[in-house]
Amino acid sequence: MNDRSIIQTPDPSGRDVWADRYLPAEMIEAPQQGGGFQIDTAWLRGALFRQRWLIGATVLAGLLIGLVITLLTTPIYQATATVRIQPWGNFIVEGQDVATTIGSSNEIDLFMETQGTVIESRNLAEVVAGNLSPGTRNALLGPTVDDNRPPQRSDEEWEDDKRRMAVTALQAGVSADVPVNSQIIAINFMSEDPALAAEIVNAYAEAFQQSDTRRNVESNTYAREYLTEQIQQVRDRLDTAERAANDYARSAGIVTPDTTGADGMTGQTITGANLSNINSTVAQARAARIAAEQKWRAVSGIPASQLPEVQNSPVIQGLIQQRATLTGQLTNLRQRYNDQFPEIQDTLARIELLDRQIDQTGENIKASIRSEYIIARNQEAALAGELSNVTGDALVEQDQKVEYANLEREAEGLRGQLSSLLDRFNQISTAANVQSGAITILDNAVVPRSPVSPNIARNMIIALVLSVAMAGGLALVREIFVDQFRRTEDVDERLGLPVLGLTPHVKSDDIDRQEANQFSSLMEAYASIRSTIDFAVPRDGAVVQLTSSQASEGKSTTALILAELFARLGRKTLLIDADLRKPSIVKLLDIDRRDVGITEVLLNHATIDEAMIEGVHENLKILSVAGIPPNPIELLCSRRFKDFIEEQRKEFSIILIDSPPVLGLADAPEIAQTVDATIFVIEANRTSFAQARTAVKRLTHVGANVIGAVLTKYRALEAGSDYAYQYQYYQYGNDK
């Protein structure tokens, strides 16, 4: 199982779940307070350095592929024509604005987008294809189009097929650039033939302009036809409405003058006029009767001679004047004659006659006042009866007039509607043949001189971007699936072991030179590891085991150099090569293998003094392997091996044991049960997390005291660090 030790952190910590699940754990730094996850820049630098050949090869291959594709691509030319769009149009005469007027700027943008869609539509492509000559159409479809003609198709059918194919090719090659702050649309067409591209673009511009003109004419024609139909319908309805109103008026006996009121209703009827006249007459008669009645009541109890009408009557005044004259004559006669005088008798008779005439005339005048009252009363009564009759007729007619008014209003509305339709029809008929000029060609297309595709600069940029993205993806995938220790942080995070130190990667040819110089970076690194171990184990009689998960990780070299460093401190040191299967200490010392070694000592075939290698360094003794035993594990887990280690504790200050790898063998776990401490050696950029974790688990399960790990063959650049910065303190005070 490939164990990447995915970091699982609760969401409230700010950690990104995607990063925890898919990114390598060493790529993610612990979140700072108040922030989310952070990318480990050191790991990123190291990953780029480790995958530099993959990234470089991928980018180079992508650029080469992009270059080859660009050079092999057929050149494409683009011709462009421009047309001017006037959303409002030019309304030369009233009646051209048949369509809805465009208002806001948003509607203008939608209008421009609509025009662009019209240019790219199949409908306009069919118009252009129909206008193209057969030669141009064949050039558009390619010189070999006739070679693909089905044998059963007639000439007419094949021409229709080519026209449909031309429509598809035109629609695929045309494009419209709709600007944001302009009313100029660019019509583009791309083709392998520059002359053909220019010809088709110009055909598109002309067809687009003609489509606008045709649309205007069709709109006006449709409007006239529609209005003609509506006018005829309204006329028929008006005729029906007028006939219905007239028939109803005839049947109801409603007669009105040929006038119309201010409210649009018809004038007063004959019955209404009669009612109005009689009502006025009745009012006058009532007023006359009241006046005559009041006058009679005022004079009925007064003697006739006292009435002003009598006193002011000329007849009465004449009679009174005559009586006064006769009275004067009588007075004169009585002065001379007695009453028996005939002339006096005649005068008295005449005076008496005048008195009777005066009284009779006064009574007549008073009687005339009463007669006037009676006549006025009779007239009022007669007119009131007539008014009652006419009022009844008017009420009946009023009910009939409501229905008649409804019929008349319907007819009047239809008259107004017919008038409006006729006015609109006259306006549209006048403007039908006037071109509004909403679309005009601004610039015709010219034959392009240079292709627009392939664009080598653009293609190379695209190839670079794609190749870099692919290289990054491949590098990330490789980093995810290649789980190796590269930094000291990996050891701490993945294994939970403290790092005792690290050693730089040194070429095989330079190891001897590095070991000879105690101030070299390699020896300074081991000196630092030696100091750490010295503080982690007892000062006297300490037994330390060095092992690894697999072979060739540098544990034998580490054990040998550490032994030499402990010996240089004056401490009596013993180095035991316990790898009874594949010993390497003698090979590292470049000396011949001894006849006896640890195997012979444990089997009591030789003494330890006979097996010891001395002279490598003062205070250092080495117990190597001479013969390979047939059962190494039985020998290492025997009581004799444990007793041997306990005996040597008393003789040496520190004992270092170079043991076999852990994986696949039981030797190292058996040795770990005997020693005081175990040091786990890990080779950088080689050992996988899974192998190391399994090896450490095996050691801890048997009770081993794993005090830490040593990271060998460390490559600073592959770990994302600056090598000179990482190790410059190892050479402090020395010339580089």
Please give the Cα distance from 47 to 475 (Å, whole number): 8
Tell me what pLDDT residue 4 has: 36
pLDDT grade for 437, boundaries at 50, 70 and 90: low
Residue 599 lies in a domain: yes
pLDDT grade for 544, boundaries at 50, 70 and 90: very high
Residue 238 lies in a domain: no
Tell me which residue range forms the domain holding 470: 51-73+457-483
Tell me what pLDDT residue 95 has: 47
Q: Which of 247, 240, 717 is nearest to 505 (CA)?
A: 717
Both 569 and 493 in a single domain?
Answer: yes
Region 617-633: mean pLDDT is 89
Q: Which CATH number goes with the domain that contains 190? A: 3.30.1890
Region 583-587: mean pLDDT is 88
Please give the Cα distance from 733 to 606 (Å, whole number): 48
Residue 625 lies in a domain: yes
Lowest mean pLDDT among 259-273, 297-311, 323-337, 642-656: 259-273
Q: Which of 597, 574, 601, 575 is nearest to 588 (CA)?
A: 575
Tell me what percent of the residues of the chain surpass a pLDDT of 70. Answer: 80
Please give the Cα distance from 199 to 180 (Å, whole number): 27
| Sheet-wide strand order for 174-177 | 174-177, 184-191, 77-85, 439-443
Q: Other CB atoms closer than 10 Å to residue 156's CB: what's the count?
A: 8
SS3 label, residue 224: helix
299: left (phi over 0), alpha (psi -120 to 50) or beta: alpha
Both 2 and 104 in a single domain?
Answer: no
Q: What angle do CA 711, 715, 721 make, to 5 degrees?
A: 105
Widest CA span in the chain: 229
Tokens of 524: 């300074």
Which tens digit of pLDDT belongs to each residue from 195-215? 888 888 899 888 888 887 776
Residues 40 and 26: beta-carbon distance below 8 Å? yes
Which tens digit of pLDDT belongs to each residue from 73-100? 888 888 999 988 877 655 444 545 544 4
Region 274-292: mean pLDDT is 79
Tell me what pLDDT residue 697 has: 92
Tokens of 680: 């786990």
Which tens digit of pLDDT belongs to each residue from 372-389? 878 888 887 887 777 777
The answer to whether residue 616 scores a pLDDT higher than 90 is: no
The answer to whether residue 551 scores a pLDDT higher than 70 is: yes
Lowest mean pLDDT among 21-35, 78-92, 129-143, 422-436: 21-35
Tokens of 550: 């697999």
Q: Which CATH number goes with the domain that contains 719? A: 3.40.50.300
Both 59 and 89 in a single domain?
Answer: no
Q: What angle do CA 668, 673, 674 make, to 5 degrees?
A: 100
Cross-strand bridge partners of residue 620 = 573, 617
Quote the strand ranges of 536-650, DSSP E.
Answer: 542-548, 573-577, 612-617, 620-623
Q: Other CB atoms closer than 10 Å to residue 435's CB: what's the count?
A: 13
Burial class (CB in 10 A: 0-12, 13-18, 19+), 664: exposed
Please give the Cα distance from 467 to 463 (Å, whole number): 6
SS3 label, residue 487: coil
Instruction: List CB contacts of 276: < 8 A, sequence separation 6 or more.
Output: 268
Q: Is the pTM of this model over 0.95?
A: no
Both 17 and 94 in a single domain?
Answer: no
Q: Other CB atoms closer than 10 Å to residue 361's CB: what's the count?
A: 18
The answer to whether residue 31 scores a pLDDT higher than 70 is: no
Please give the Cα distance from 587 to 658 (Å, whole number): 13
The answer to whether residue 677 scores a pLDDT higher than 80 is: yes
Region 695-716: mean pLDDT is 89
Chain-centre distance for alpha carbon 693: 50
Q: What is the mean pLDDT of the chain?
A: 79
Both 31 and 130 in a single domain?
Answer: no
Residues 512 and 506: beta-carbon distance below 8 Å? no
Both 205 and 312 in a single domain?
Answer: no
Q: Which of 13, 40, 65 is nearest to 479 (CA)?
A: 40
Burial class (CB in 10 A: 0-12, 13-18, 19+), 408: buried
Q: DSSP code of 180? A: S
Both 638 and 712 in a single domain?
Answer: yes
Total domains, the chain: 5
Residue 277 lies in a domain: no
Query: What crossing angle do the helices spanning 456-481 and 52-72 adopt, rounded to 10°?
Result: 150
Tell me what pLDDT residue 454 has: 81
Both 90 and 3 in a single domain?
Answer: no
Please give the Cα distance from 24 to 689 (Å, whole number): 12
Q: What is the 3-state secondary structure (H, E, C) of 70-123?
A: HHHCCCEEEEEEEEEECCCCCCCCCCCCCCCCCCCHHHHHHHHHHHHHHHCCHH
Tell me what pLDDT residue 436 has: 53
Please give the Cα distance from 59 to 460 (Å, whole number): 11
Residue 233 lies in a domain: no
Tell me what pLDDT residue 35 has: 46
Residue 18 lies in a domain: yes
Both 468 and 492 in a single domain?
Answer: no
Both 214 and 107 in a single domain?
Answer: yes
Tell me what percent of the residues of the chain surpass a pLDDT of 90. Answer: 14
Which tens digit of pLDDT belongs to each residue from 103-122? 556 777 888 888 888 888 99
Please give the Cα distance from 289 to 286 (Å, whole number): 5
294: left (phi over 0), alpha (psi -120 to 50) or beta: alpha
H or E, element range at 701:
helix 689-701
For the ranges 351-355, 384-388, 547-551, the maximum mean pLDDT occurs at 547-551
Region 696-709: mean pLDDT is 92
Residue 95 lies in a domain: yes
Which tens digit of pLDDT belongs to each residue from 167-185? 888 888 889 888 888 888 9
pLDDT grade for 661, boundaries at 50, 70 and 90: very high
Lowest mean pLDDT among 153-157, 230-234, 260-264: 260-264
Residues 624 and 646: beta-carbon distance below 8 Å? no
Q: What angle do CA 332, 337, 340 make, to 5 degrees?
A: 120
Q: DSSP code of 32? A: P
SS3 label, residue 546: strand
Please give the Cα distance from 39 to 297 (Å, whole number): 127
Region 317-339: mean pLDDT is 82
Residues 573 and 687: beta-carbon distance below 8 Å? no
Q: Are strands 654-658 and 542-548 parallel, antiparallel or unpaired?
A: parallel
Q: DSSP code of 679? A: E
pLDDT grade for 6, boundaries at 50, 70 and 90: very low
Both 657 and 583 in a single domain?
Answer: yes
Region 292-316: mean pLDDT is 74
Both 634 and 686 in a single domain?
Answer: yes
Residue 449 lies in a domain: no
